[in-house]
Amino acid sequence: MLMGSLVVAAGCAPADVAGNYSVNLTNGENGCGLDNWTVGESTANIPIVVTQSDDTVQLDVQGLGGTYLDVVLGSSLFNGNVSGNGISAALIGSNAGRQGGCTYTTTVDLDATVDGDFIEGELQWRPVTNGHADCGILETCRNYQSFNGTRPPSE
């Protein structure tokens, strides 16, 4: 039994996901009805710097994509964890929006896998509201994006 537990624990060791990635992003479902969201629209060559300490990871979106996130959400940093070759992280926005008596921020959840020098995954944009009746669809809606990219091979 102990040997089986050790094998399982060793299989969950975090992969080395750190590096400078260039990713391509494609808009998916616009469940929240955002005005400037076009399903299928793509953006190429977004620079992302991933730093890692054991199983803790931070993804820093740079370039124009990072500037956009900073302006719209109030941050361009995803914080999370690595388990095996999977990354689970969130960007917790601080800029508040308003819809009647509803106030909200936006959190973007990231789920990705890294295979060698290739990364791919999904972003899920979700409003975090104050629960006011005016929030309506913002209570349950989601917007989705898929992404993939590469990092230079380590030497």
Residue 82 has pLDDT above 70, yes or no: yes
**pLDDT at res. 112:** 98
- Residue 10 in this model has a pLDDT that exceeds 70: no
Tell me what percent of the residues of the chain surpass a pLDDT of 90. Answer: 86
Class of CATH domain 17-149: mainly beta
pLDDT (tens digit per residue) in 132-142: 999 999 999 99
**pLDDT surpassing 60 at residue 75:** yes
Report pLDDT digits (tens) over 35-68.
889 999 999 999 999 999 999 999 999 999 999 9
Which has the closest alpha carbon to 155: 29, 47, 19?
Answer: 19
Return the pLDDT at 12. Answer: 66
Note every long-range contact of 87-94, with CB atoms under 8 Å and residues 24 or more positions apart, other chains counting: 87/17, 87/57, 87/59, 87/111, 87/112, 87/113, 87/114, 87/119, 87/121, 89/57, 89/58, 89/59, 93/128
Mean of pLDDT values over 8-14 = 61
**β-pair type (97-99, 56-61):** unpaired
pTM reported for the whole predicted model = 0.89
What phi and psi values does residue 69 have, to the nearest 5 degrees? Answer: -60, -40
Domain boundaries, the chain: 17-149
